[in-house]
Amino acid sequence: MEYIDLRSDTVTQPTPEMREAMAKAPVGDDVFGDDPSVNRLQELAAARVGKEAGLFVPSGTMGNLIAILVHCGRGDEAILGARAHTVLYEGGGISYLGGVHSRQLMEQPDGSLALEEIEALIRPEDVHQPSTRMISIENTHNRCGGTFQTPEYLRSLGAFAHARGLVVHMDGARLFNAAVAQNVEARELAGPVDSVTFCLSKGLCAPVGSVLCGSRAFIDRARHIRKHLGGGMRQAGVIAAAGIVALETMVERLAADHARARNLAEGLNEIPQIQLDGMPPTNMVFFNLADSVKLTVEQVEAKMRERGILVHATGKRRFRLVTHYWIDDVAVEKTIAGFEAVLG
Ligand code: TLP
């Protein structure tokens, strides 16, 4: 059975054009800096986000980890949102591998970090305390509902941090969703921050990889740390080639995923057993099951699967549905009908 898979946009598969580009990709040994496809992807990526240089990494998790390890030494502190992916879903890697202390601050409902609240967390120079070095911001913010940060907020965050001797990293796993949703260029969002990662393997459909971007000096150091982590790849041009197609052809169409997420949300909103968070800002629809629903989320997952629809619970009564390239209008209709039948 061909499933309608709404569990994440990470389930996207390479398009036929990507597979062709992968087959034909010129390659070399990227640890020597010799892979033309990787080099091209890194240049394209850096230009797209307005940074001097880029580094191809196997995952968003590794991109965030490397960035934080460049910005912080052992015993230094990073300020992060309490619901940030780096805090919740990256295995505590920044402390496990980098000895970096995380200071967590509850996000505003839109995923931003309030500047006055950050201010209160910045530590004075004191031997008893870790040294505050950086702030990390997520854009779009996954657990806050796929919310995006505006260029204005990011400019004020960057200026605030720099005036206090701090740097800013942006986990832009879905940076292009944030850009397309606001009709701005990704570089407007990335301009105020010191480093940014974005994923090729989510809504952009490439099979593997993310790009970490920043200044030339930052990327030189990041390359070294990627090697420490075992992330130096050899003929990685085979996968970078799909990333090039992703960047060149898949960004603008993200607007269609956002429109379908809204259609899906509108349809689900008609079902009394569903308590929708609100209209989705990008490609994620979050909702809770009403108390009247006697099924557990696992039972709902199983019944939807029987109908050929894969959905994923993110809490005891909570679901997140993610639209992407492989979700068309028919899939949206079938999903709404599926929930109606299962919950009705
Ligand atoms: N997110 C995945 C899961 O890990 C939850 C998903 O299905 O949404 N930053 C953000 C904001 C992310 O959402 C993710 C992946 C990552 C980083 C990590 O990317 P990968 O999976 O490439 O390590």
Answer yes or no: is pLDDT of 1 > 70. Answer: no
How many beta carbons lie within 10 A of that of residue 163, not counting itself? Answer: 8
Pocket test for ligand 1, best of 142, 169, 177, 200 (most atoms within 8 A of CB): 142
Nearest CA to ligand 1 atom 4: 89
**Banded model confidence at residue 265, pLDDT cuts 50, 70, 90:** very high
**Euclidean distance between CA atoms 123 and 39, whole angstroms:** 40
| DSSP 3-state of 272 | coil
Q: Please tell me the distance between residue 44's alpha carbon and the centre of ligand 1 in angstroms.
A: 22
Tally of residues, the chain = 344
Please name every residue paired with 211 in a beta bridge, in sequence order, or none if there are none.
Answer: 56, 198
198-231 burial, b at 16+ Cβ within 10 Å, e below that, comes to bbbbbbbbbbbbbbbbbeeebbebbbebbeeeeb
258-283 burial, b at 16+ Cβ within 10 Å, e below that, comes to bebbbbbbebbbebebbbbbeebbbb
Residue 10 Cα: closest atom of ligand 1: 7
pLDDT in tens, 142-175: 999 999 999 999 999 999 999 999 999 999 999 9
Geometric angle at alpha carbon 247, from 244 and 249, rounded to 5°: 100
Q: Give the closest residue to 311 by CA, choosing from 268, 344, 277.
A: 268
Query: What mean pLDDT comes out for the span 6-25?
Result: 97
pLDDT at 344: 85
Token pair, residue 270, equals: 């008609």
E runs forming strands in 97-178: 101-105, 131-138, 167-171
| DSSP 3-state of 287 | strand
pLDDT in tens, 308-333: 999 999 999 999 999 999 999 999 99
pLDDT in tens, 65-122: 999 999 999 999 999 999 999 999 999 999 999 999 999 999 999 999 999 999 999 9
Ligand 1 neighbours (beta carbon < 6 A): 8, 10, 59-61, 85, 89, 138, 142, 171, 173, 199, 201, 210
User: Is pTM beyond 0.95 here?
Assistant: yes
pLDDT at 325: 97
Phi, psi of 322 (to 5 degrees): -120, 125
Answer yes or no: is pLDDT of 301 > 70. Answer: yes
Q: Please tell me the distance between residue 86's alpha carbon and the centre of ligand 1 in angstroms.
A: 9
Nearest CA to ligand 1 atom 16: 60
**Euclidean distance between CA atoms 260 and 269, whole angstroms:** 14
Pocket test for ligand 1, best of 202, 257, 320 (most atoms within 8 A of CB): 202
Burial of residue 136, with CB atoms counted within 10 A of its CB: 0-12 exposed, 13-18 middle, 19 or more buried: buried
Answer yes or no: is pLDDT of 19 > 70. Answer: yes
Q: Edge-to-edge strand order for the sheet containing 318-322?
A: 274-276, 284-289, 318-322, 312-313
